[in-house]
Every structure is written in structure tokens, then in C-alpha cells.
Amino acid sequence: VQLVESGGGWVQTGGSLRLSCAPSGIRLSDYAIGWFRQAPGKEREAVSCISSNDGGKFYVDSVKGRFTITSDTAENTVYLQMNSLKPEDTAVYFCAATFRLGAKNMRMCPEERLYDYWGRGTQVTVSS
């Protein structure tokens, strides 16, 4: 199983980026995908999660209204559209997969112990 993130880069404050997470070896119909981020000197934190088979979604408060998570089961890819980016969004963004999350328990999205597979991350830098 491999998760590959892409779409990171450098953008000015207020700009947008779209991250992609493309798992191989697992299907989105069976696994929920979470996006996490880790800024320099800080702990990794959950950003958003999606369960494709029942539509469950989660967003951390700091990104609500700015980030949108979607999935394309035909392409087996999850997207994180990030708008109105701020310098505090600067971090390495990781996607991770778990079969333990669904709409009914999506509040547990931030629980890293639930995830079985992790990607290597993609850097997002937002300049002021």
C-alpha cells in the first residue's frame, strides 16, 4: 500500500492550492482518508477527513469555510482544496488511510492511532 501526496507548493497569503492523495493498493470505498499537517516545531494535527462510502467529513475549526475535502472514487483520489491560505497554514501536509472511520465516528478523525497507512507528505508554504 502506498499513499502519494501532490499539489503542494508556494503561494501568497489569500491564494489557493489543491492537494491530491492517491492511494495504491487500497480502495476509497473501503478506507477513509485523513489529511494532517505538521508545521516546524509543532505537533502534527488533523486538518480534514473524508469517508467516501458514506459521505462523512470532518474539518478542524481553523480551516472550516476555507478548505474543502472531496473524493473521486473512479480515480481513487482524495482532494483537499485550500482557499484563502494564511501563513499559519504553512506545513508539511500528509494523507493517511484507515478503515476504522465512517460518518458515524468522524469526530475521531484526529486520532492518529486509527490510521494504517501514511504518505510522505507535501510541503505547503504560504508567504505573508
The tens digit of pLDDT for each residue in 23-35 reads: 999 999 999 999 9
Return the residue matching grid coordinates 489529511.
35
Q: How confident is the model at residue 122 (pLDDT cuts 50, 70, 90)?
A: very high
Structure-derived torsion over alpha carbons of residues 83, 5, 52, 32, reported in degrees to the nearest 10: -120
- Mean pLDDT throughout 92-118? 97
- Mean pLDDT throughout 43-62? 97
Average pLDDT, the chain: 97
pLDDT for 62: 98
How would you class 65 by CB atoms within 10 Å of its CB: exposed for 0-12, middle for 13-18, buried for 19 or more?
exposed
φ and ψ at 13, to 5 degrees?
-50, 135
pLDDT for 86: 98
